[in-house]
Structure 1
Amino acid sequence: MRIARRLLRPFLKEEDGAVTVDWVALTAAILMLGLFAGFSVTSSVPTLANKLSEFVSGRSVGPE
């Protein structure tokens, strides 16, 4: 047990990986925000397409 503590103590005191953890958390948050925005936009596209289709189908083009 003492050997394990002696080997783990320097590893636990080292702080070099803390910056990496911050970047991973920041990247994950940005990714989740992007996915949320994408899903929000794509869920409203069919409704907008239907409204546009109804509007265009009611119009005539060219001489009558």
Structure 2
Amino acid sequence: MGLGGPELIMIGVVVLLLFGGKKLPELMRGLGKGIKEFKNAKDGVSEDTVEVVPVKLPVSEKST
């Protein structure tokens, strides 16, 4: 049970009627950005992600 060609065309016509031709590019741009952000979040990749790696410091023994 998926979306075929006729269903997608019908959805496109309804969206065009609801929002008009001038708003359609803006809506598609927003949809594309949303999909991109979702994929980045799903993959765990983002510009502000920083990987922290623990570093072992040498330990010096104190002699008394």
**Which category describes the TM-score, using the shorter chain as reference length?**
0.3 to 0.5
Higher relative contact order (CA 8 A, sep 6+): 2
Normalised by the size of structure 2, how large is the TM-score?
Answer: 0.37
Normalised by the size of structure 1, how large is the TM-score?
Answer: 0.37
Bigger radius of gyration, 1 or 2? 1
